[in-house]
Amino acid sequence: MTINLRATWPFPWSPWPSGPWEMRGTVATAWFLVGRAEVAPMANSHLLPNDEEDVLCRVRFYDIEYTSLSEIDDRTAARSGRFREAVVAYRGAFGHVGGDVSAVMLTDSFPYLAWGRDAFGWPLEPAAFEFDGPLWTQANPQGQMSAFATANDLTIRLEGAVSAKSPLDEAPQVTWLTPRTVPDPSTLVEDPQMLIVYPRWVSIGERYELEDARLVITAGSDGRVRSFEGEIAITSADVLSGFTMVVGESVLSFRGQELDNAIAGHTVELHAQTQW
């Protein structure tokens, strides 16, 4: 008997569309420095740079419309949609590859939560959001803005004034480092892996300064950010409006001996240090 696995495996019902995904929208970012000891509760110790006492961290708020670019249309999930997201990340290193590690990820979209966890192992959690200001609603984003996310008793708030355009000379390089574990079906033991995700810019949109920015994190019972909660001393803040990028086209995976070698610092340098 011949079985058409394509028709029966995996089960065609899925809450998320096949990748890669084109993402279009707006992002507001605030950068800040956190002492190595304070960032440790939310960090993977293997990914912290060895020679830095202060670790560069960031909070980002996204408002994104997405579309699946896959040529395979065998899932019941809608191929397009929208989500909002808040991310707390830190600058890390995997071997000789620098990148950002997302430690806290909140979203209001179940399809995005499902594919982020399933496809990449991102630690996405459901959250409620409040966005205010022309940045999120109008073609001209200039003016006061605010973004607020809450999950259980964790809250993150960013506010400021979107001011003059501040163009970038070139598209910044972006690298996302994602540690995850996947159960080995033969042993039922969790298999540690590392993904290096390289998003591709289609358009960087317009960059604006975010002046008088104020970032406040309330940890509640969330131990990942409790050591530096409160009003954060921001080093810089900006906005990208109308950007487009593709996520899921270029993803490298390390496991087993490759993973051990990379942690030991023997990985071949694959991309330059992350700049954004």
Domain ranges in the chain? 15-263
In contact, 239 and 208? CB cutoff 8 Å = yes
| 106, amino acid identity | L
pLDDT for 233 equals 97
pLDDT for 268 equals 41
Query: How far apart are the C-alpha atoms of 239 and 132, rounded to whole Å?
Result: 14
Burial of 8 (0-12, 13-18, 19+ CB in 10 A): exposed
Provide the 8-state DSSP code for 116: I
Burial of 74 (0-12, 13-18, 19+ CB in 10 A): exposed
Question: Which residues contact residue 258 at a Cβ distance below 8 angstroms, ignoring those fewer than 6 apart?
Answer: none
Residue by residue, pLDDT tens for the chain (276 residues) are 444 444 445 555 677 888 899 999 999 999 999 999 999 999 988 888 877 789 999 999 999 999 999 887 666 778 899 999 999 999 998 888 889 999 999 999 999 999 899 889 999 999 999 999 999 999 999 999 999 999 999 999 999 999 989 988 888 889 999 998 877 667 767 778 889 999 999 999 999 999 999 999 999 999 999 999 999 999 999 999 999 999 999 998 887 666 666 666 654 444 433 344
Query: Phi and psi dihedrals of 228, rounded to 5?
Result: -130, 25
- Match domain 15-263 to its CATH number in 2.40.160.40, 2.40.400.10, 3.40.50.620, 3.50.50.60: 2.40.400.10
pLDDT for 73 equals 66
pLDDT for 87 equals 98
Query: How far apart are the C-alpha atoms of 15 and 73, rounded to whole Å?
Result: 13
The separation between the first and the last C-alpha atoms of the chain, rounded to the nearest angstrom, is 54
Question: Which residues contact residue 188 at a Cβ distance below 8 angstroms, ignoring those fewer than 6 apart?
Answer: none
The pTM of this model reads 0.89
Query: How far apart are the C-alpha atoms of 154 and 42, rounded to whole Å?
Result: 14
Question: Which residues contact residue 228 at a Cβ distance below 8 angstroms, ignoring those fewer than 6 apart?
Answer: 34, 35, 38, 39, 217
Q: Helix, strand or coil for residue 16? A: coil
pLDDT for 99 equals 93
Q: Where does residue 58 fall: left (phi above 0), alpha (psi -120 to 50 degrees), or beta otherwise? A: beta
Measured CA angle at 242 (ends 237, 248), to 5 deg = 90
In contact, 80 and 68? CB cutoff 8 Å = yes
